Amino acid sequence: MLRVGLTGGIATGKTTVVAMLRELGCRVLEADKIAHQMMEPGGAAYQEVVREFGRGILTPDGLVDRQKLGAIVFADPKRLARLNAIVHPPVLEEQSRQLAAIERADPYAIAVVEAALLIEAGFDRKLEFLVVTWCTPEQQLARLTESGKGRGLTIEQARQRIEAQMPIEEKRQRADVVIDCSGTIEHTRAQVIALFAKLKGMEGAKEKKAGNL
């Protein structure tokens, strides 16, 4: 099995690219969804998050209100670091568990772990190939602040979220492949199809080498 990481700055196209890779046949793990599960009542991080940030972050139903929590942590780097310290360990453990399960079920799979903080959490070291999505800083801001299709954040909120992550140029330098999501969806899709062909070739060569050992 080939283990691939997919990361990039916020609103640079990760969700679009990972959906295309899934359509092409990759097995996908989305760290954001796993993190949400960890912060649900009964989840591995729920109690500690509530202890750290208070019951004021909860909805009347006892769920973590991500908007309230985001307003706290993105305004204070120390609080964000504390949240990550709570949530990352169980998320990384669950990712490793799911990857092992995929490999048992499909030894020839291409498994893609999509995570905004993949490098920051150190999980890239457990993977064999790193893909980074990119668009212009102006496009990031527009995608985060536009109402409707965008996320409807204020400029200040958008900048806080961008600045909370590793600079995109540093991520690009670490990438094996960069997917430019600044153009049309067709331009992005063409790059993803070429990437998938490359990954298929890598996985095939890996299995051939293993068979010759």
In the prediction, which pLDDT does 207 show? 79
Q: How far apart are CA 104 and CA 87, in angstroms?
A: 26
pLDDT at residue 25 is higher than 70:
yes
- Please give the biggest Cα pair distance in the chain: 59
Query: Which residue range is the domain that position 118 belongs to?
Result: 2-212
Q: What is the CATH number of the domain that holds 93?
A: 3.40.50.300
Confidence of residue 211 (pLDDT cuts 50, 70, 90): low
Q: Which two tokens stand for residue 174?
A: 């670490």
111: pLDDT strictly greater than 80: yes
Please give the DSSP secondary-structure letter assigned to residue 148.
Answer: S
Bridge partners, residue 30, by sequence: 114
pLDDT digits (tens, 9 = 90+) for 153-178: 999 999 999 999 999 999 999 999 99
d(CA 98, CA 206): 21
- Please report which confidence band the pLDDT of residue 90 belongs to, taking 50, 70 and 90 as the band edges: very high
- Structurally, the chain folds into a number of domains equal to 1
Instruction: Read off the pLDDT band of 147 (50, 70, 90).
Output: confident
pLDDT bracket for residue 149 (50, 70, 90):
low
Residue 213 pLDDT greater than 60, yes or no: no
For range 43-55, the mean pLDDT: 97
